[in-house]
Amino acid sequence: MQKVGRPSKYGNKALKTAQDYVEKCYKGNTIPYIEELALILDINDDTIVKWTKKHDEFNATYRRLRMLQRLRLKQGSLEKKLQPNVGMFLLKANHGSDDDESGKIDGFKVEFVRPARTVAEIIAEMEVARNKEENE
């Protein structure tokens, strides 16, 4: 059966262009955008998502782009280059970040547990015990 439709624009050139874009953003300390990559490749951003499902090498580049995007958003928020609420909104909307103290990171459940006693509390207890011994 003959395929119907326009031939795919995916190939070695598209992969190399995507890899170069991510590398340029990394070295240039800028935020990569999926939409910008789509414009460079002259495709729709939903095509990028389709390519990630079909082509392992492109998927690896896409995952690197998203990781770099998360990093730059965090850096921008912490270094006050971005308003923190804008950075947090983008991280929540695009990367599944959450304000909760527990959540998932890359599919693994993560819980932040507070120890029963902090180091400061233990030191304070030791000082009380020492003072008690000295007074006896």
Per-residue pLDDT tens for 50-91?
Answer: 999 999 999 999 999 999 988 888 787 766 666 656 656 565
Rg (CA), the chain: 24
Whole-model pTM: value is: 0.60
DSSP reduced 3-state for 105: strand
The runs of H, that is alpha helices, within 30-83 are 34-41, 45-54, 56-78
Extents of the domains making up the chain: 12-99
